[in-house]
Amino acid sequence: MAASSNSSLSGSSVSSDAEEYQPPIWKSYLYQLQQEAPRPKRIICSGEVENRPKYYGREFHGIISREQADELLGGVEGAYILRESQRQPGCYTLALRFGNQTLNYRLFYDGKHFVGEKRFESIHDLVTDGLITLYIETKASEYISKMTTNPIYEHIGYATLLREKVSRRLSRSKNEARKASVTSEEHPTVEKISSLVRRAALTHNDNHFNYEKTHNFKVHTFRGPHWCEYCANFMWGLIAQGVRCSDCGLNVHKQCSKHVPNDCQPDLKRIKKVYCCDLTTLVKAHNTQRPMVVDICIREIEARGLKSEGLYRVSGFTEHIEDVKMAFDRDGEKVDISANLYPDINIVTGALKLYFRDLPIPVITYDTYSKFIEAAKIANADERLEAVHEVLMLLPPAHYETLRYLMIHLKKVTMNEKDNFMNAENLGIVFGPTLMRPPEDSMLTTLHDMRYQKLIVQILIENEDVLF
């Protein structure tokens, strides 16, 4: 999160909300080291160099030896040149002076410059970032190795302070819970309550469904100084200084991300759509037990469609189903799928099936797929039922709850079989490949497993009162 090393929310000019929330003390040591790091000094070639690559500037000195490069750098910290290898023409090297020695790095270009994982728009940025990293890792290697040993993430005093005050404010309205932000014009470095604060508040909100969820960390480039919300240390460098959870916005060092608990609290602002969104992410973002699509569609189907012939087997018009999908993505829980707009109940059932098919991780997860298939192959009915029950316990809580609720609904569908002609076996044929897919995208595996997929769903429907 953006902050200065001595930022504080106290002060008479700050709002009362801001006064209530004191951030941890952001540790300034690594920030100070970055400020002290040597600055790049480009050593320009005095003459024109033939065959100079168009993406290099006058710091390119052509084909010269390591000894010549060392002499040109003149022992100046941060000085650098580019040269073409004598032994491997067409290969280029960055010669950089650091720590009283000349360091040589193989240099690459693919539209951006790089020597490792990070890619830069300019050689100057690459060298600047490299000098910062070298300086900090030289001066503070032991400090960095111990950063995760005393994190602020679960700091007792900090978390306790937040829990009561934030939870009270969150309980006033759902909108405030979703925003959980504080701004202050007089304190530009304190832009908002961090995702860390938000997480502490939501975790201890009585109305929150506490499903475990891993963070969805992605490498991120932070503009301006940022501090790690796990260890409270500065995130150094020019680009790709750390990782950010794309679901909740938590900002941490890459090495700290390995220690963060599976307690992601997705922020609605970051969830762009309902369909194609990870199931657990969606329910945590909306603070619901199950995905809203499942609740709303099933409610509508049970209100007016249980006796409809071929329920779930008969398809609705694809265009209308896509309309419902877009309506959920646009309107969320305020969506209207009533008979006034969609008189054909098969459009609603089609939208529900499409939701399950579009899940990035199926309701019956990839991790449990093979175990369910193996359970279905057991010949003895009692042993098979016990095996299915054991595998059900391995499902993530949000997946388990969604499956449980769906099976209760499908049981009601079978109770109207004399009207809709849909029994558990028929529904198994429809929902088998909808609820479970093999981890490997293999048509052969899918075809081979279809009868077992059907059988699993049939067992779940017929025994929902025992299994769940």
CATH of the domain at 234: 3.30.60.20
Residues 383 and 451 in one domain: yes
In a domain, residue 26? The reply is no
Residues 130 and 264 in one domain: no
In a domain, residue 106? The reply is yes
- At position 258, the amino acid (one-letter code) is K
Q: Look at residues 239, 270, 301 and tell me which one is the last residue of a structural domain.
A: 270
In the predicted model, is pLDDT for residue 375 greater than 80?
Answer: yes
The H or E element spanning position 304 is helix 292-304
Q: Look at residues 229, 246, 270 and tell me which one is the last residue of a structural domain.
A: 270
In a domain, residue 383? The reply is yes
Total domains, the chain: 3
- Check: CB of residue 59 under 8 Å from CB of residue 95: no
Provide the pLDDT for residue 87.
85
In a domain, residue 208? The reply is no
User: 225, 246, 244: which is closest to 235 by C-alpha?
Assistant: 225
Look up the CATH number of the domain holding residue 46.
Answer: 3.30.505.10
In a domain, residue 167? The reply is no
Residues 299 and 261 in one domain: no
Residues 264 and 313 in one domain: no
Residues 221 and 342 in one domain: no
List pLDDT tens digits, range 248-267. Answer: 889 999 999 999 988 888 88
In the predicted model, is pLDDT for residue 189 greater than 50?
Answer: no
- Check: CB of residue 397 under 8 Å from CB of residue 404: no
Residues 261 and 300 in one domain: no
Look up the CATH number of the domain holding residue 412.
Answer: 1.10.555.10
User: 308, 384, 18, 62: which is closest to 188 by C-alpha?
Assistant: 18
In a domain, residue 178? The reply is no
DSSP string, 202-236: HHT-TT-----B---EEEEPPSS-BB-TTT-BB--
Which long-range CB contacts under 8 A does 92-95 form with residues at least 24 apart? 92/53, 92/56, 93/69, 94/123, 94/126, 94/127, 95/66, 95/69, 95/70
Place of tokens 């040269």: 83
- Mean model confidence pLDDT for the chain: 84
In the predicted model, is pLDDT for residue 197 greater than 60?
Answer: no
In a domain, residue 209? The reply is no
Provide the pLDDT for residue 21.
37
Q: What is the band of 162 on the pLDDT scale with cuts at 50, 70, 90? A: very low
Exposure string over 5-18, b if 16+ CB within 10 A, otherwise e: bebbbeeeebeebb
Residues 298 and 263 in one domain: no
**Domain enclosing residue 221, as ranges:** 217-270
DSSP 147: G
Place of tokens 């240099």: 107
In a domain, residue 388? The reply is yes
pTM of the model: 0.62
Mean pLDDT to the nearest integer, 401-428:
97
Residues 390 and 338 in one domain: yes
Residues 307 and 455 in one domain: yes
Mean pLDDT to the nearest integer, 319-330:
96
Residues 291 and 361 in one domain: yes
List pLDDT tens digits, range 90-133. Answer: 999 999 999 999 999 999 999 999 999 999 999 999 999 999 99
In the predicted model, is pLDDT for residue 193 greater than 60?
Answer: no
Provide the pLDDT for residue 175.
43
List pLDDT tens digits, range 135-159. Answer: 999 999 999 998 888 787 765 333 3
Q: What is the band of 209 on the pLDDT scale with cuts at 50, 70, 90? A: low
Rounded to an integer, what distance in angstroms lies between the CA atom of residue 182 and that of residue 193?
6
User: What residues contact residue 223 under an 8 Å CB cut-off, 6+ apart?
Assistant: none
Provide the pLDDT for residue 17.
36
Residues 369 and 234 in one domain: no
User: 105, 93, 92: which is closest to 131 by C-alpha?
Assistant: 105
Provide the pLDDT for residue 183.
31
Q: Look at residues 100, 130, 146 and tell me which one is the last residue of a structural domain.
A: 146
In the predicted model, is pLDDT for residue 358 greater than 50?
Answer: yes
Mean pLDDT to the nearest integer, 188-212:
48
Residues 228 and 301 in one domain: no
For residue 318, count other CB atoms closer than 10 A to its CB: 11
